[in-house]
Structure 1
Amino acid sequence: MGFFGPKTVPLLGVDISSSAVKVLQLAKDGNGFRVEHCAVEPLPPDAIVEKRIIDVDSVGDAVRKAVQRSGSKLKHAAAAVTDSEVIVRRLSMPVGLDEAEVEGQLQVEASQYIPYPLEEVSLDFQRLGPRPDKPELQDIMLVASRTENVDMRVAVLELGGLTAKVMDVESLSLRNAFSAFIFASKPRPRAAVIAVIDIGATMTTLTVLKDDRAIYSREQAFGGRWLTEEIARHYGLTFDEAGRAKRKGGLPEDYAEMLLDPFKSSMVQQASRLLQMFYAGSDVHQVDEVILVGGCAMIPGLAEQFREELNVPCAVADPTAVLGFGPRVSAANVRADGPALMLAVGLALRSFD
């Protein structure tokens, strides 16, 4: 299948991360949205390595369990490939072209941008509207990925009892969630450069937003699993025991000084390296704001440490703060995972495009 896809039916947002599968269903609620169904199902260690699906059966089983636990009856899903697996290009074409003409021109031009045989690639596009400087031209966003990357996610969704209707790109889905829930609740200047830092279990992803679009994305192999492994090693626990202790508390008094504080410092250093790579390849010398998402964003004091060490305003994004909740959903349970649900929320929003 291609990217984006037709949105003719309600969609279940399915975020397949390195440590868990998160499923989320939204419904309209007046001028806003509410969570109708939501569940998070952990994955076995190494089922996904650096966002690449290694154990298809285990991931498919986790999708199935997450859907069952959520109570959702939807059978169509929106998922996403990682930015490292896609090529995104912004092209200009005459405004009057219809869909077939755009597709034909993209097939001609795509070979300039894609280093793989076109028969091995899934292509799609979105119209971004007329160019302000040349209204006779329109901007077209070309998105391409090797078909095997898309097919792998389609396969795990099918094993979980779902049909893939939309295959998005993670940074684009995050942008949509931010536009709908974070920027809507606290508007920023359109020209503001926002660094979204998604800190997951094994990967940290920097996505830079400007003018309501993603202009840069980069990943780094570092995340919360490092802290879990250090807890297990330092206190003689199994990995699962360390993970539970990290989430629920009860670790010895020296935990913060010996392990948590060094992890937070390492996290800031990793994010700083990602930002320096962005600065080196752009005309931006300082972002206007850093926003943290992902499971590790909830670590107490992490946003404050980012703010102090990077000398940039920093906040934690939580879409559940502005969402309503349906009668079959535990608001407390969903809010406990708030910042980690940003991508799932962005994918669930594709029902309303």
Structure 2
Amino acid sequence: MVISLESIKHVFGGGHKGAVLGIDIGSSSIKVVLLEKVEEKIVLKNYGEIALGPRAGAGVGQATNLPPEKVAEALRDLLKESGITARHTLIAIPFSASLLAVVELPDVGKKDLDSMIPLEARRYIPVPITEVSLDWWVIPKRKPEREPMVNASPDTAKIVGSIEVIIAAIHNEVIKKYELVKRSAQIPGEASHFEIEIFSTLRSVVGSDMSPILVVDIGAGSTKLAIINEGVVRGSHVISVGGQDITLGLSRSQAITFDKAEEIKCRVGMTGDAEGRDVSAVSELLLANIMNEAARFVENYEHKHNTKLEKIILVGGGARLKGIEKIVTKNFKNIPIAIGDPFSRVDSPAFLASTIKEISPNFAVAVGIALKGLEE
């Protein structure tokens, strides 16, 4: 049997009626989005973000590792300040707090897979299998299965092909932590549902696109890569470099505070005159390292599966850096590059259009997890 806690069973479950609150607890900030389905349209009811750095004695934009009580306090303050209340809450689990592996297994029946998966998962999970909530599902085949050979012997005819299976695991303590955050933040309503953040991002910025896509999520402390093909996560990778490294580099090179460097980075990016050149000098080297590793990741995937990447989508706070597309293009020539727009699936007030466009990449996870709650 697949080992599963009640919480993780809802990762692929049904939707809710009424407003749904999606919560993305990142390393540098918490983002929340309140969505509601009104006459078959998905409507943005409210949203908000609060920085966690100052609550850890750090700057805005810096990654933190706050205890659950401090995270809950920040979340409670954010919901109070934004006036958000909801009875249906969904929380995204950070990629760093989960495990996602794509494995190749014999094409056998579900009963056999039920017994094989926990054994296979032990190869990837560095803790006892009883300490995690485990889920899995078979990835749709890329090509039709090969027919048995004509005049094949009975034994040969029984030979089965292989299938790809996604194994997802979340440590039980992580789930308990986020349940504690919800209780401590005094969020009312039904039990929270959880989802690994990559699936939330996929839902909000990839949607029904079936082409091979690389999603690059540039967070504060790390960058997450995911290859999506035929609407399914085919591979993932984490790079331990993020947006805060650009800010730290600019702070050191210009002998200015982290907060001042963050303000310059967000305001001018790699455009403009003197300040833009300062940001570029630091950003280009760090982003080149990220993109070189991303290029190797993609190359390995393309070689293994005999396919070609068709699109790149940038999300996360780092995707808001002005001029970032030029750096990405150096490593991925002739491949369209887009800044992810999770709010494109959502109706929002016209007067918020410019603000929504600016912040949109940073809300990919929060929008995606809220959309999950609205799915029928």
**TM norm structure 2:** 0.75
Which stretch shifts more, 216-225 or 308-317?
308-317
- The 3 A distance-change label for structure 1 pair 155 and 53 is farther
Asked if 2 retains the 8 angstrom alpha-carbon contact of 1:7 and 1:351, the reply is yes
Whose strand proportion is higher, 1 or 2?
1
SS in 1 for 2:53: coil
Match of 2:42 among 9, 12, 33: 33
Q: Distance in 2 between matches of 1:68 and 1:235?
A: 38
Q: Which runs of 5+ in 2 are unaligned?
A: 146-162
1:66 CA drift (Å): 2.1
Which residue in 2 is equivalent to 1:228?
A: 247
- The 3 A distance-change label for structure 1 pair 315 and 140 is closer
Which residue in 1 is equivalent to 2:134?
A: 123
Matched, 1:58 2:63: no
SS in 1 for 2:8: coil
1:322 CA drift (Å): 4.5
Which residue in 1 is equivalent to 2:370?
A: 348
Match of 2:177 among 135, 152, 166: 152
Which stretch shifts more, 192-201 or 106-115?
106-115
Q: How does 1:101-250 map to 2 (within 5 A)?
A: 106=114, 109-114=117-122, 115=125, 116-125=127-136, 133=144, 142-162=167-187, 165-180=192-207, 183=208, 190=210, 192-248=211-267
Q: In structure 2, give the amino acid aligned to 1:113.
A: A
1:31 CA drift (Å): 4.7
1:224 CA drift (Å): 1.4
1:65 CA drift (Å): 1.9
SS in 1 for 2:305: coil
Q: How does 1:326-341 map to 2 (within 5 A)?
A: 330-341=352-363
Q: How does 1:82-97 map to 2 (within 5 A)?
A: 82-84=94-96, 85-88=98-101, 94=109
1:348 CA drift (Å): 0.4
Q: Distance in 1 between matches of 2:175 and 2:62?
A: 16
Q: Distance in 2 between matches of 1:18 and 1:264?
A: 23
Asked if 2 retains the 8 angstrom alpha-carbon contact of 1:51 and 1:82, the reply is no
Which residue in 2 is equivalent to 1:279?
A: 299
Q: In structure 1, give the amino acid aligned to 2:119.
A: S
- The 3 A distance-change label for structure 1 pair 195 and 249 is closer
Asked if 1 retains the 8 angstrom alpha-carbon contact of 2:44 and 2:348, the reply is yes
Asked if 2 retains the 8 angstrom alpha-carbon contact of 1:202 and 1:226, the reply is yes
- The 3 A distance-change label for structure 1 pair 259 and 51 is closer
- Percent identity reads 22
Which residue in 1 is equivalent to 2:82?
A: 70
Matched, 1:16 2:16: no
Matched, 1:315 2:338: yes
Q: Distance in 2 between matches of 1:260 and 1:316?
A: 19
Q: Which of 1 and 2 has greater Rg?
A: 2
1:127 CA drift (Å): 7.6
- The 3 A distance-change label for structure 1 pair 319 and 141 is same
Task: For residues 303-345 of structure 1, give each alpha carbon's deviation from its aligned partner in whole angstroms, at most 9, with x where no partner exists.
Answer: 1332244212211111224521269x94544333111111111
Q: Distance in 2 between matches of 1:252 and 1:131?
A: 46
Q: Distance in 2 between matches of 1:257 and 1:105?
A: 55
1:61 CA drift (Å): 1.7
Q: In structure 2, give the amino acid aligned to 1:198.
A: D
**TM norm structure 1:** 0.80
Which stretch shifts more, 163-172 or 286-295?
163-172
Which residue in 1 is equivalent to 2:153?
A: none
Q: In structure 2, give the amino acid aligned to 1:256.
A: G
Asked if 2 retains the 8 angstrom alpha-carbon contact of 1:205 and 1:220, the reply is yes
Asked if 1 retains the 8 angstrom alpha-carbon contact of 2:31 and 2:48, the reply is yes
Q: Distance in 2 between matches of 1:199 and 1:260?
A: 17
Asked if 1 retains the 8 angstrom alpha-carbon contact of 2:213 and 2:228, the reply is yes
Q: Which runs of 5+ in 1 are unaligned?
A: none
Asked if 2 retains the 8 angstrom alpha-carbon contact of 1:317 and 1:339, the reply is yes
Q: Distance in 2 between matches of 1:342 and 1:179?
A: 10
Q: In structure 2, give the amino acid aligned to 1:160.
A: A
CA RMSD, 1 decimal: 3.6
SS in 2 for 1:145: strand
Asked if 1 retains the 8 angstrom alpha-carbon contact of 2:23 and 2:90, the reply is yes
1:249 CA drift (Å): 5.1
1:206 CA drift (Å): 0.7
Q: Distance in 2 between matches of 1:21 and 1:93?
A: 42
- The 3 A distance-change label for structure 1 pair 330 and 259 is closer
Which stretch shifts more, 7-16 or 40-49?
40-49
Q: What is the total number of aligned residue pairs between the two structures?
A: 335
Task: For residues 267-311 of structure 1, give each alpha carbon's deviation from its aligned partner in whole angstroms, at most 9, with x where no partner exists.
Answer: 133122133034335335742221111112122221133224421
Asked if 2 retains the 8 angstrom alpha-carbon contact of 1:173 and 1:343, the reply is yes
SS in 2 for 1:3: helix
SS in 2 for 1:34: strand
